[in-house]
Structure 1
Amino acid sequence: MQKTLIGPRLRQLRRDHQQTQAEMAQVLGVSTAYINLLENNRRSLSVKLLMALSDAYGVDWRDLIKDESANLLADLRNALQDPVFAGKAADLQELRGAIDHAPRLVGHFLELYRSHRRALEKMMRLGSEGMPEDLLSSTPETILHDFFRDHANHFDELERAAEKLRAEEPCGIDDVYAVLKARLQRVHGIAVRSAPVEKMDQALRIHDEAAAVVHLSEALDHQNRVFQLAHVVCLVEFPKLLDGLTAGSGIRAESGIARCHVELANYFAAAFLMPYAPFHETAERTHYDVDRLAAAFGVSFEQVCHRLTTLQREGKRGVPFFFLRVDKAGNVTKRFNATTFNLAEYGGACPVWNLHTAFRTPGVIVPQFVELPDGGRFFTISRTTERPVFSRETQDRRLALSLGCELKHASRLAYAAPFNSEDPALFAPIGINCHLCPRQACSQRAHQPLFTDLTLDPKRRGNTRYES
Structure 2
Amino acid sequence: MATGKLYIGRKVRDLRLANLATQAQFAERLGISVSYLNQIESNQRPVSAAVLLSLADKFKIELSELSGGEGNRLLSALAETLTDPLFAGHSATLQEMKMVVNNAPGVAHALIAAHQAYRHNSERLASIDDTLGRVPTTVEQTPYEEVRDFFHFMDNYIHEIDVVAEKLAIEIGIGDQDSYAALSSHLEKTFRVRISRATDSEDLMRSFDETRRVLTLSPYLTPATRNFQLALQIAQLSAAAVIDQILGNAAFRTNEAAEICRIGLHNYFAGALILPYRKFMEAAREVRHDLDLLSVRFGTSLEQICHRLSTLQRPGQKGTPIFFARIDRAGNITKRHSAAKLQFARYGAACPLWNAHRAFEAPGQIVRQLAETPDGVRYLCIATQITKGGRGFHTPRQNFALALGCEISYAEQFVYADDMELGNRTAFDPIGISCRICERKNCAGRAVPPLKSQLVIEHFKRGHLPYRIA
Range class of TM-score, shorter chain: 0.7 to 0.9
- The answer to whether structure 1 residue 185 and structure 2 residue 195 are counterparts is no
**C-alpha displacement at 1:136, in angstroms?**
3.8
Aligned to 1:150: 153
Note closer, same or farther for the CA distance 1:35–1:461 as it changes in structure 2 (3 Å cut): closer
- The answer to whether structure 1 residue 312 and structure 2 residue 313 are counterparts is yes
Aligned to 1:159: 162
Aligned to 2:383: 382
**C-alpha displacement at 1:194, in angstroms?**
1.9
Query: What is the TM-score of this pair, normalised by structure 2?
Result: 0.79
Q: Percent identity?
A: 35
Aligned to 1:36: 38
**C-alpha displacement at 1:186, in angstroms?**
2.0
**Counterpart secondary structure, 2:356:** coil
Aligned to 2:343: 342
Note closer, same or farther for the CA distance 1:163–1:102 as it changes in structure 2 (3 Å cut): closer
Aligned to 2:9: 7
Q: Whole-Å Cα distance in 2 between the matches of residues 209 and 84 of structure 1? A: 52
Note closer, same or farther for the CA distance 1:226–1:26 as it changes in structure 2 (3 Å cut): closer
Query: What is the TM-score of this pair, normalised by structure 1?
Result: 0.80
**C-alpha displacement at 1:228, in angstroms?**
0.7
> Residues 314-329 of structure 1: matches in 2 within 5 Å?
314-329=315-330
Contact 2:83 2:437 in 1 (8 A): no
Contact 1:144 1:249 in 2 (8 A): no
Letter in 2 for 1:71: R
Contact 1:78 1:374 in 2 (8 A): no
- Gap regions ≥5 residues in structure 1: 14-23, 52-63
> Residues 259-270 of structure 1: matches in 2 within 5 Å?
259-270=260-271
Aligned to 1:56: none
**Counterpart secondary structure, 1:405:** strand
**Counterpart secondary structure, 1:317:** coil
Contact 1:389 1:397 in 2 (8 A): no
**Counterpart secondary structure, 1:247:** helix
Contact 1:11 1:39 in 2 (8 A): yes
Query: Of residues 70, 74, 97 in structure 1, which corresponds to 2:72?
Result: 70
Greater CA drift, 147-156 or 97-106: 97-106
Note closer, same or farther for the CA distance 1:368–1:303 as it changes in structure 2 (3 Å cut): same
Note closer, same or farther for the CA distance 1:298–1:94 as it changes in structure 2 (3 Å cut): same
Q: Whole-Å Cα distance in 1 between the matches of residues 137 and 213 of structure 2? A: 40
**Counterpart secondary structure, 1:259:** helix
Note closer, same or farther for the CA distance 1:332–1:69 as it changes in structure 2 (3 Å cut): closer
Q: Whole-Å Cα distance in 2 between the matches of residues 312 and 9 of structure 1? A: 16
Contact 2:380 2:405 in 1 (8 A): yes
Contact 2:183 2:230 in 1 (8 A): yes
**Counterpart secondary structure, 1:292:** helix
Note closer, same or farther for the CA distance 1:331–1:106 as it changes in structure 2 (3 Å cut): closer
Contact 1:350 1:431 in 2 (8 A): yes
**C-alpha displacement at 1:6, in angstroms?**
6.2
Q: Whole-Å Cα distance in 1 between the matches of residues 234 and 209 of structure 2? A: 14
The CA deviation string for residues 143-178 of structure 1, in whole angstroms up to 9 with x for no partner, is: 222211222111222222112212321255652212
Q: Whole-Å Cα distance in 1 between the matches of residues 207 and 333 of structure 2? A: 25
Q: Whole-Å Cα distance in 2 between the matches of residues 448 and 397 of structure 1? A: 31
Q: Whole-Å Cα distance in 2 between the matches of residues 82 and 341 of structure 1? A: 20
Q: Whole-Å Cα distance in 2 between the matches of residues 192 and 306 of structure 1? A: 27
**C-alpha displacement at 1:308, in angstroms?**
0.1
Aligned to 1:290: 291
Contact 2:84 2:451 in 1 (8 A): no
Letter in 1 for 2:145: T
Contact 2:444 2:464 in 1 (8 A): yes
RMSD of aligned C-alpha atoms? 4.0
Q: Whole-Å Cα distance in 1 between the matches of residues 343 and 410 of structure 2? A: 17
**C-alpha displacement at 1:394, in angstroms?**
2.9
Q: Whole-Å Cα distance in 2 between the matches of residues 11 and 165 of structure 1? A: 33
Q: Whole-Å Cα distance in 2 between the matches of residues 398 and 39 of structure 1? A: 48
Aligned to 1:369: 370
Q: Whole-Å Cα distance in 1 between the matches of residues 267 and 373 of structure 2? A: 31
Q: Whole-Å Cα distance in 2 between the matches of residues 339 and 119 of structure 1? A: 32
Contact 1:320 1:339 in 2 (8 A): yes
Contact 1:142 1:345 in 2 (8 A): no
**Counterpart secondary structure, 2:371:** strand
Aligned to 2:282: 281
Letter in 2 for 1:317: K
Greater CA drift, 101-110 or 151-160: 101-110
Contact 2:340 2:407 in 1 (8 A): yes
Contact 2:385 2:402 in 1 (8 A): yes
**C-alpha displacement at 1:84, in angstroms?**
6.7
**C-alpha displacement at 1:360, in angstroms?**
0.9
> Residues 91-240 of structure 1: matches in 2 within 5 Å?
93-115=95-117, 122=123, 127=127, 129=129, 136-172=139-175, 175-200=178-203, 203-240=204-241
**C-alpha displacement at 1:296, in angstroms?**
1.4
Letter in 2 for 1:167: I
Note closer, same or farther for the CA distance 1:327–1:273 as it changes in structure 2 (3 Å cut): same
Contact 2:327 2:401 in 1 (8 A): yes
Q: Whole-Å Cα distance in 2 between the matches of residues 418 and 116 of structure 1? A: 48
The CA deviation string for residues 372-412 of structure 1, in whole angstroms up to 9 with x for no partner, is: 34444433211111112244233442211111223332232
**Counterpart secondary structure, 1:315:** coil
Contact 1:219 1:388 in 2 (8 A): no
